[in-house]
Structure 1
Amino acid sequence: MGLLVNGEWRDQWYDTEKTGGSFERTKTSFRNWITPNGAPGPDGQDGFPAESGRYHLYVSLACPWAHRALIFRKLKGLEEVISLSVVDWFMGENGWEFSDRQGTIPDTVNGASKLYEVYLKADPTFTGRVTVPVLWDRKTGTIVNNESAEIIRMLNTGFDAFATRQAPDFYPADLRGEIDAINATIYDAVNNGVYKCGFATKQEAYERPFHALFEALDELEARLSNRRYLMGERITEADWRLFTTLVRFDAVYHGHFKCNLRQIADYPNLFGYLRELYQWPGVAETTDFHHIKHHYYESHATINPTRIVPLGPDQDLAGPHGRERLKAA
């Protein structure tokens, strides 16, 4: 993964020597907000009004952060409201690129061949990592937001007037404090924890997040023993934020990122929960294991220099999940 420095592309990986061998994720840069009427966002960010056909979403099917946005676009019935581009699974010296391979969708808005060209159109002097998802505004010709946690909240309620299907409010007011708290724990130990294991370049820097990851998974296993979802009876954004890591875990993170103490399949409650979420209407359609496996195993040459993509595991996510024993949502 490269980055832009004052508008110039550089094929440059994270410098873990400066961080003692630890992987530290950089913050996203575009943080404006879409609201039903264009009012400012929750923290006073510039507001963009929700309109059908105005916004475009750039994603990778491999990326768990982009997968969140893709799931919300699907569950909220926004496929005809927000158009879509999908980058190639391979991320090489030019970062994310567009291609005509299976599962990809070209950039029909800006005609870019590389995602960093979209960033440069928004800001010709941009400095930072070029990441997905990206929410683009056709009308003003700029990036509204590239932070997945904020994009899913915009999709959750901002476009309700245009939605083609009914869906729950995944961030209900009465649960926001609890959702925010568990999101913070899961992000640090699980969502980002697998990356901290996989991209570490020193033993101690790998072992610390490894232990934190499996402590968190053990706690989640216990939590889900008597709750159907993380918040109890209601499915929320916290579940979908966790799902996109769980669904990649056994296929990629367990081996490729050395997160190999246990698989998700070894946790009865977590695995049943993963199966239920995967079987939620529309979600399996957003999950592409070919893109997922080929991205990680082919793109990270420092971890997998042969770029051989494993054929396993043989994992049946369509089987019975057994979550009916808990109180129905």
Structure 2
Amino acid sequence: MTNEFHKDGSFKRQVNRFTTPFGEQPGELPVEQGRYRLLWSPACPWAHRSVIVRKLLGLQDAISLGTASPIRPNIDRVDWEFSLDPARVDPVLGVTYISEVYKNADKEYEGRPTVPVLVDVTNNQAVYNDYFKLTNYFETVWAPFHKPSAPSLYPIHLREEIDSLNELIFEDINNGVYKCGFARSQEAYEQAFDALFARLDALEERLANQRFLFGDFVTDSDIRLYATLIRFDVAYYNGFNTNRNLIREYEHLWGYLRDLYDTPGFGDTTDFDAIKKHYHLSITIFQNNGGVKILPKGPDITALLLPHNRQSLSKQVGKFLIEEN
């Protein structure tokens, strides 16, 4: 396995192995309906955001979905298992572990088998696992398979700004919680902790006078932020020691999160049971209760359904930008 821990105790996420772009040029991955299967676990924030975008854009008929268990096969095996199916295999690919599609593509692959990963169903090989860019491909080159009136999540006039904000969200928040939780030195932990909450504080201020990160409509950036915020109180606050503030203690971030949770594609793809099982029963950092595995009783889902009144900050009706082709 790739070593993701540096000498200073900091956590450095592994580089993605399968990054060939989608497109029409020679050597690029063809954009074809039914050619690929998206493998995910609802526990994983990186995978969750790809599933949100897939649903918002109506790509369900173009790209099938395979769901792995949130529970690791065992402590020593860092893998994702299709144990939810009675046959204990993915019903389309016939594989038991996600690592199998990685090995099918590269027999020498030694990294962690991660989700999301797109698999070519013609040969059961992993072809794309770059979680950072996957949603952008769904939003652009996969446009021919979008549903009518699909929202514009990555509008051309905002792409440079969205890309810049996505980088900050990734470094300080999406990956920032992991840099806190997986730190192996006090210094590395505190550095990540301070960066995380400085960024959350900045976004709290940004959302004080606008409904979403770029104003009146949801963009790719909101989806990326949501995937971490919705897991924060139930998993990261205690488990990863990101315990300065709960998200529900922020006035604007909490209302913003409830607004998104109430949006089709967000709350209905959020599986708290899977999230809790993964972070509290599967990741070994939590196995410190004398061998007894405790699953948290919360969260109170009804709190996410309280009125948020975020629409009062919006100049337009609805939550999405619809652009004319």
* TM-score under structure 2 length normalisation: 0.89
Gap runs ≥5 in structure 2 = 320-325
**SS of aligned partner of 1:129:** coil
Letter in 1 for 2:229: L
Residue of structure 1 in register with 2:36 after alignment: 55
For the pair 1:308 / 2:294, whether they are aligned, the reply is: yes
The match for 1:24 among 9, 12, 15 is 12
**SS of aligned partner of 1:245:** helix
In 2 relative to 1, CA 165–308 (structure 1 residues): closer, same or farther, beyond 3 Å?
A: farther
For the pair 1:286 / 2:273, whether they are aligned, the reply is: no
The match for 1:68 among 36, 45, 49 is 49
Gap runs ≥5 in structure 1 = 6-13, 41-45
Cα deviation code 1:2-34 (max 9, x no counterpart): x3x8xxxxxxxx563x43221111111100122
Cα deviation code 1:116-147 (max 9, x no counterpart): 11101111122322110001122354322101
For the pair 1:319 / 2:306, whether they are aligned, the reply is: yes
**SS of aligned partner of 1:247:** helix
Runs of 4+ in 1 over 3 A off after TM superposition: none
CA distance in 1, matches of 2:148, 2:201: 36
CA distance in 2, matches of 1:308, 1:158: 44
CA distance in 1, matches of 2:299, 2:65: 30
Kept after mapping to 2: 8 A contact 1:197/1:206: yes
Kept after mapping to 2: 8 A contact 1:134/1:143: yes
Superposition pairs of residues 83-122 of structure 1, within 5 angstroms: 83-91=64-72, 92=74, 93-94=76-77, 95-100=79-84, 106-122=89-105
**SS of aligned partner of 1:33:** coil
In 2 relative to 1, CA 105–222 (structure 1 residues): closer, same or farther, beyond 3 Å?
A: farther
Residue of structure 1 in register with 2:112 after alignment: 129
Letter in 1 for 2:28: G
Aligned residues: 309
Residue of structure 2 in register with 1:77 after alignment: 58
Of stretches 79-88 and 54-63 in structure 1, the one that deviates more from structure 2 is: 79-88
Letter in 1 for 2:17: S
Give the fraction of aligned pairs with identical amino acids, expressed as a percent: 44
For the pair 1:173 / 2:160, whether they are aligned, the reply is: no
**SS of aligned partner of 2:170:** helix
**SS of aligned partner of 1:57:** strand
